[in-house]
Structure 1
Amino acid sequence: MNNEPLVSIIVPCYKVEQYLPNCIESILCQSYTNWELILVDDGSPDNCGNICDDYAAKDNRIKVVHKKNGGLSSARNAGMKVITGEYVTFLDSDDFLHKDALRILVNHANKYDAQIVQCDFVRGSETVFPNWNNQEKVDVYDNHTVFTKFAAKIIVWGKLYKRELLDDITMPEGIINEDDWTTWKIYYKAKTIVVTNRPLYYYTVNPNSIMSTAKRKPDITYYGAYDERISFFHEKKEKDLEDVSRLQFCKSLLLSYSNIQLTKEQRNEIDSRFKTHWQALRTSSVVPPILKILFFGFTISPELVSKVANRIR
């Protein structure tokens, strides 16, 4: 009998037949073996469904959910309905994991009694995880310092979650920036968050992915996510977390301003929203001096500052 905690891995699958086998193989090759893999075929029109079924037939740790296409959040929500693990992690089907990813994440969770363990990631177009010879650095945060020390990453993948953190979480469907609405709520529910600088997740640069497609035109759905987040912390009287949320919203607005496909109305809205939140932040201690200079410059010359900031980024 395996005494190690069961890890549920949720993988939404849609139009990724060329990447999916490598993604699944990275799970089959894990040095940590007590896992269940939930492959959610989100009505994919290619061969993804068959690939999922073929792998499930070979390994009883793999479960397949076939559903009508509903988008990334819909697929993740469907996966969360069938998980049985003590821990949960999300993996996109064009990405893959380091062979020791699950073991390292679970070990950190056990050692620090953490509800979230967050790793770093590699970005590229390889199919084999690159060697990493640096010294691992591990930091421990609570549900305040993870925000105020800017350790929180809004993306939902690249983390191991204690399952109960997700019990009342439903990812919003029908929008692109679903992580903006979700991840901060999970962080805030956790008592202990461990962050390792070791890259254990490989993010594949896929020109056909949702995010790559989204970058071709402006998307402003995330405005509502920040409105909700700022209002939540304001009502909780969490002034430091409210200010951090405003700061991150200002950064997003600043960076998005250089998008050449923005309409005049969209630029005006960015300008208006930025000034509102920057006014509330001007004297806040959570804003680093360099960002105060950058934000002030944006109020004077938004187009120039946005272009420079994006190049530095």
Structure 2
Amino acid sequence: MKKLSIIIPLYNTPLPYFKECLDSCCINDEVEIIVVDDGSTLNYENLLKRYDLKYVKIANGGVSKARNVGMLLSTGEYITFLDSDDVFILNQSVLDFLNKKNIIIARNFIMSQSTIENYYLYDKSQIISQSELKRNMFLLSNRSIDCIEPVWSKFYLKSYLQEYGIIFNERLRRGEDVIFNYEAYSRTKSVFYCNEFSYKYRMTNMDSITRSFDKIMVITTFQLLEEFEKLFRKLNTVDENYQYYVWRLVIRLIRKYYVYLSKEEFNTKVNLLFSNIIIDHYLNMINHAELDEYKKQLYEILVIKDKAQLYSYLRDVCDKKLLRK
């Protein structure tokens, strides 16, 4: 049995990026590389034949489908996931930690065209309790949440995932990592945090496009909330910190309005946002003493005041109330 299976969903990734990705996985004989091609139109044959790996091509079904197929094909004791344009920084010391817990979280950094940012939870390797991990998933700042929410830089004991039937939700097109990890974190007593780098995330121009506001973003946001409600019922649990996560998603949508829309479009869409019965449903289910007053103030600033004041207000709310540690 291999020590680690690296599952790489592939869809039309530029050849230079994909080559760098594969090169970074060639560590030693303990590592198994699995590439699941999600219906790419690019020809990778000449590149793939240079590597010792498993390759399967499927009809386009999304990243969740590709990851689930990869999990079925895997033979490693542990499983990890790598995007086909990203890079592993996986040394022997990280592999040596793969006997500590059901889940291991490692450090990562995000690289754009102009900057490199490090993302980590703690200054040293340590055990994290389930309660602390789940609480942090909903309350941490953006820099720290990128260590917890995504599946990259995580290592999962395969037998643990199989025991509880933890797979990716193929209905979701956004937020599939969050649902997967929340269930994975909820089934174990604790995880091990490894203060070693294991992942380099490459931020491309396509990331900027997917961060822009569109109708699909609204739909997928509420699909994610619906799936969270289903998961809570499945786990027979209620997370008291979930209310802050709902607010964070709503504020994220509002920030998209602020950045990408003209004044007229901005006012129109904000009015629709606050009259939308779906959003009202999620806002009303939050048991928060200041909800009505907060919503009123936010609405007045959104519609009546200028955008600079809106940005300042939202930033203050996020920093002081919603994303506090």
Q: Deviations over 1:272-307 (max 9, x none)?
A: 2453244x144xxxxxxxxx89x9655512546873
SS of 1:55's equivalent? coil
Could you tell me which residue of structure 1 aligns to residue 280 of structure 2? Answer: 272
Equivalents in 2 of 1:259, 1:143: separation in Å?
A: 32
Structure 1 residue 46, shift from structure 2 partner = 1.2
- CA RMSD in angstroms comes to 3.4
Structure 1 residue 237, shift from structure 2 partner = 6.0
Could you tell me which residue of structure 1 aligns to residue 200 of structure 2? Answer: 202
C-alpha distance 171-234 of structure 1, shift in aligned 2 (>3 A): closer
Q: TM-score, normalised by structure 2?
A: 0.73
SS of 2:252's equivalent? helix
Structure 1 residue 116, shift from structure 2 partner = 0.7
5+ unaligned residues in a row in structure 2: which ranges? Answer: 320-325
Q: Deviations over 1:195-245 (max 9, x none)?
A: 234432111012235x84353424132323333434644675644xx1122
SS of 2:36's equivalent? strand
* Aligned with 2:97 (options 99, 105, 108): 108
C-alpha distance 35-68 of structure 1, shift in aligned 2 (>3 A): same
* Contact persistence 2:127–2:190 (CA under 8 A): yes
Could you tell me which residue of structure 1 aligns to residue 311 of structure 2? Answer: 307
* Contact persistence 2:172–2:224 (CA under 8 A): no
* Aligned with 1:68 (options 34, 53, 59): 59
Equivalents in 2 of 1:66, 1:195: separation in Å?
A: 34
Q: TM-score, normalised by structure 1?
A: 0.76
Equivalents in 2 of 1:37, 1:306: separation in Å?
A: 47
SS of 1:175's equivalent? coil
* Aligned with 1:193 (options 179, 191, 194): 191
Equivalents in 2 of 1:160, 1:50: separation in Å?
A: 30
- Give, as a single letter, the amino acid of the residue that structure 1 aligns with 2:183: K
Structure 1 residue 250, shift from structure 2 partner = 1.5
Could you tell me which residue of structure 2 aligns to residue 226 of structure 1? Answer: 225
Number of residue pairs matched by the alignment: 281
Could you tell me which residue of structure 1 aligns to residue 6 of structure 2? Answer: 9
Counting aligned pairs with the same residue, the percent is: 23
Instruction: From the two aligned structures, give the one with the greater helix fraction.
Output: 2
Matches for 1:227-242 after TM superposition, within 5 Å: 227-230=226-229, 232-233=231-232, 238-239=237-238, 242=239
* Aligned with 2:172 (options 169, 175, 184): 175
Equivalents in 2 of 1:114, 1:155: separation in Å?
A: 18
Could you tell me which residue of structure 1 aligns to residue 107 of structure 2? Answer: 120
SS of 1:37's equivalent? strand
Could you tell me which residue of structure 1 aligns to residue 73 of structure 2? Answer: 82
Moved more, 77-86 or 175-184: 175-184
Could you tell me which residue of structure 1 aligns to residue 182 of structure 2? Answer: 184
